[in-house]
Amino acid sequence: MKLTSREEKGVEILEPKGKIMGGPDATMLHDYLHDLINQNKKKVVIDLSKVEWMNSTGLGILISGLTTLRNNGGELKLAMITEKIESLLTITKLITVFENYDTVEDAVASFQ
Amino acid sequence: MAKSSGDDITISSSLDHIAAVDEFLEEWLRRQNIPEDTIADLAIAVTELVNNAIKHGNKGNLAKKVTVSLHFANGVAQATVGDEGEGFDPESIPNPIAEENLLKAIGRGIFIVKSLMDKVEFAFPATGGTRITITKKVVN
């Protein structure tokens, strides 16, 4: 997995690419999310359009990021989830927990 | 350590080797002409089980091994993940979609495996360790 990020209108946009399956790559995303919180950056969008699939490690990172952000007055929103990830979110009922947008622009606008 | 031959791959108990397992698995499945969507389901399930085998089974002991064995015949794909741990009670795993567990960061692995696969079998040999065999019918 590779991870890039950018900021737009005060919102951090993370773009992981590849698979999130556990191991060092997953740790990188987890640490990056928690670093943002430490930097008081509390509005986060994760663009999942380039994530082929993830297992429960990836879902755990998303949940951990979401709950930590919410506990600190922030929010994590998802954008452009693939069919495979939507299926996993549905199976695990996490689809009811995350705000999910069709485009990154819509996700960013939802913070304004 | 990650060592593969034929239909098997064996790794030491480090999460650093998960990607090697996935690479071996996906290449093996592609050689059987299995559709990409099914490959993804099997890769998700196998990497779940390998994560569990490393963390919960072998408890990260690098001296202990995790083995993945693959089999494909008559349109049915099968993978067995074995560890050298002390075993566990599959019935004791909390339901991850219960309201009180929904926001927990862990505990979804086996649930996801069961959801994606047609059959999940647990075995705890007298010689020790856990062997979990997953089965998925392949529809081309």
ipTM for the whole complex: 0.92
CB contact (8 A) between residue B109 and residue A61: no
* Residue A71: per-residue pLDDT: 93
Domain of residue B127 covers 2-137
CATH number of A2-109: 3.30.750.24
DSSP code of residue B55: I
Q: How confident is the model at residue B1 (pLDDT cuts 50, 70, 90)?
A: confident
The token pair at B138 is 């392949």
Contact A102, A80 (CB under 8 A): yes
CB of A56 within 8 Å of a chain B CB? The answer is: yes
Q: How many helices (H) and strands (E) does chain A have?
A: 4, 6
For all residues of chain B together, what is the average pLDDT?
96
Min Cα–Cα distance to chain A from B16, Å: 5
* Residue A112: per-residue pLDDT: 85
Residue range B18-37, pLDDT digits in tens: 999 999 999 999 999 999 99
CB contact (8 A) between residue A22 and residue B47: yes
Domain ranges of chain A: 2-109
Residue range B53-105, pLDDT digits in tens: 999 999 999 999 999 999 999 999 999 999 999 999 999 999 999 999 999 99
List CB contacts (< 8 A) between B22 and chain A.
19, 21
| CB neighbour class for B120 (10 Å; exposed up to 12, middle 13-18, buried from 19) | middle
Q: How confident is the model at residue B9 (pLDDT cuts 50, 70, 90)?
A: very high
- Positions of E strands within chain B: 2-5, 8-12, 65-73, 76-82, 119-123, 131-137
Residue of B nearest to A95 (CA): B102
Element (H, E) at A107: helix A104-109
Of B19, B47, B103, the CB nearest to A97: B103
State the CATH number of the domain containing residue B79.
3.30.565.10
Radius of gyration, alpha carbons of chain B = 15
Of A52, A66, A93, the CB nearest to B97: A93
On the question of pLDDT at A24 being above 90, the answer is: no
**What total of structural domains would you count in chain B?**
1
A28 or B46, higher pLDDT: B46
Biggest CA pair distance of chain A: 35
* Residue B139: per-residue pLDDT: 86
CB of A84 within 8 Å of a chain B CB? The answer is: yes
List CB contacts (< 8 A) between A52 and chain B.
40
